[in-house]
């Protein structure tokens, strides 16, 4: 039976449900699974804690260690043993200092001995290949490598930064048998870092349509109550929450009744709270913090329109995909989004939602106004969105693509 080792910086993370989904799908497909991470955060930190417990995922997690004993006598003895055992691999290491070659690398080889039977390594994020560049370059690890870029790991501000990042990502790109990305937008970014297009597979993050099922008797917006708006995302500049809040202020000034809920936590929470207060929107704009998948599903069911307000931030970084947009459409919410990054690939402009020029708050508010004044559009777009996600972003479909990739190696 083939064994897959998933490499992640930390695990599990509330916002990275795709990692857990991929683990379980691989296990169901007949693969043995492992997780190698720098930091294990515990089941309680996940928004999928029940799923993690059901499949005993905590039993397959390994925390990356240096392998160097604290006891000096054991350290010396083990070092001598490893120098002899792994001499041919140590000899092949290029451009290493004396210290690294003889006092660090022997322990690395010893630690990674437990992973030599791994058939496939799947690095979620290009900066989490850990020591695989070293270990594969000398032939110590024979397992195939798939690296999945998610956006930030392919971001560069300008040409100088592109050159620097290309060097940094060389190992992840050069030693990978496949590189996966979630949108054509991100594909272009990765190509700019020097990746051969033949290696790249576009596989979006998928939505579990068996979980995200809208209520049959959901209250339809009829124009007689406030339109309920929802956003989901970390409270960071990239997510552009401030622009959506400004649009809500315009709608209020124009005499429309709206309520806006923002799900997520982050460093801009205090700034956003201050901004909401400065616009006198405390009664209709609510920051509700982090939510579990079940709580998020309930929020989708109780809202009408999803606001995807992500923008290009000061570092020239933009949203690569935005899974929440697909989740919202699966729950039959109409979407209003800025035309930015990979977002245009995640909805049907004029079909399941509206795309608005980036940071154009007045036009963003006008798009929401159109939904208020034509309530039937919300239902029509909601139906179109569910169909679109079923065809393009279902977890089952994207999982099949990834499993097929594993099977091909």
All domains in the chain, ordered by first residue:
3-64+116-206+394-408 (3.40.50.2000), 227-391 (3.40.50.2000)
pLDDT (mean) for 117-134:
96
Q: For tokens 């691999």, name the residue.
A: 89
Residue spans of alpha helices (H) in 6-59 = 17-28, 49-54
96: its two tokens: 């290493």
Cα 383 from Cα 92, distance rounded (Å): 59
pLDDT (mean) for 27-53:
88
pLDDT reported for residue 191: 98
Question: 407 falls in which pLDDT band (50, 70, 90)?
Answer: very high
pLDDT reported for residue 13: 84
Whether 51 shows a pLDDT value over 90: the answer reads no
Whether 132 shows a pLDDT value over 90: the answer reads yes
pLDDT reported for residue 403: 95
Q: Closest by alpha carbon to 110, among 133, 131, 137, 96?
A: 131
**Least confident piece of the model among 25-29, 243-247, 378-382:** 25-29
Cα 8 from Cα 10, distance rounded (Å): 6
Write out pLDDT tens, residues 152-170. Answer: 999 999 999 999 999 999 9
pLDDT reported for residue 199: 97
Give the three-state DSSP class for 124.
strand
Q: Going along 175-284, which residue ranges are E strands?
A: 178-181, 200-202, 227-232, 258-263
Write the DSSP string, 82-109: HHHHTHHHHHH--S--HHIIIIIHHHHH
Mean pLDDT rounded to a whole number for the chain: 95
pLDDT reported for residue 21: 86
Write out pLDDT tens, residues 188-235. Answer: 999 999 999 999 999 999 999 999 999 987 788 988 899 999 999 999
pLDDT (mean) for 262-286:
98
* CB contact at 8 A, 324 and 232: yes
Longest dimension (CA), the chain: 79
């Amino acid at each position: 039976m083939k064994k897959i080792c998933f490499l992640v910086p930390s695990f599990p993370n509330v916002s990275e449900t795709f990692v857990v989904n991929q683990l379980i799908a691989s296990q169901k497909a007949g693969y043995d699974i492992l997780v190698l991470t720098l930091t294990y955060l515990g089941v309680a930190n996940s928004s999928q804690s029940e799923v993690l417990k059901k499949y005993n995922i905590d039993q397959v997690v390994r925390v990356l260690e240096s392998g160097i004993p604290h006891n000096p006598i054991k350290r010396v003895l083990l070092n001598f043993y490893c120098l002899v055992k792994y001499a041919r691999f140590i000899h092949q290491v290029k451009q290493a200092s004396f210290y690294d070659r003889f006092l660090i690398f022997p322990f690395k080889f010893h630690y990674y001995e437990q992973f030599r039977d791994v058939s496939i390594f799947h690095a979620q994020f290009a900066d989490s290949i850990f020591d695989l560049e070293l270990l594969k370059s000398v032939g110590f690890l024979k397992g195939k490598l798939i690296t999945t870029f998610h956006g930030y790991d392919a971001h560069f501000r300008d040409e100088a930064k592109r050159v620097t990042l290309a060097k940094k990502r060389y190992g992840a790109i050069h030693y990978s048998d496949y590189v996966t990305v979630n949108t054509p937008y991100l594909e272009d970014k990765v190509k700019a870092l020097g990746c051969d297009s033949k290696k790249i597979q576009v596989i979006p993050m998928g939505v579990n349509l068996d979980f995200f099922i809208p209520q049959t008797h959901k209250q339809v917006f009829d124009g007689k109550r406030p339109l309920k708006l929802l956003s989901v995302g970390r409270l960071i500049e990239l997510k552009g929450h401030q622009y959506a809040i400004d649009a809500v202020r315009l709608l209020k000034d124009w005499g429309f009744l709206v309520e806006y809920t923002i799900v997520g936590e982050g460093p801009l929470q205090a700034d956003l709270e201050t901004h909401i207060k400065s616009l006198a929107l405390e009664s209709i704009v609510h920051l509700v913090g982090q939510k579990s998948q079940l709580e998020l599903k309930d929020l989708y069911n109780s809202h009408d329109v999803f606001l995807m307000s992500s923008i290009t931030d000061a570092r020239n970084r933009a949203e690569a995909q935005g899974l929440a947009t697909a989740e919202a459409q699966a729950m039959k919410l109409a979407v209003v989004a800025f035309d930015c990054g990979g977002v245009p690939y995640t909805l049907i402009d004029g079909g399941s939602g509206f795309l608005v020029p980036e940071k154009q708050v007045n036009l963003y508010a006008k798009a929401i106004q159109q939904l208020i004044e034509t309530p039937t559009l919300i239902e029509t777009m909601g139906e179109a969105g569910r169909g679109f996600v079923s065809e393009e972003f279902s977890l089952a479909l994207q999982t099949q693509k990834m499993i097929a990739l594993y099977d091909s190696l």
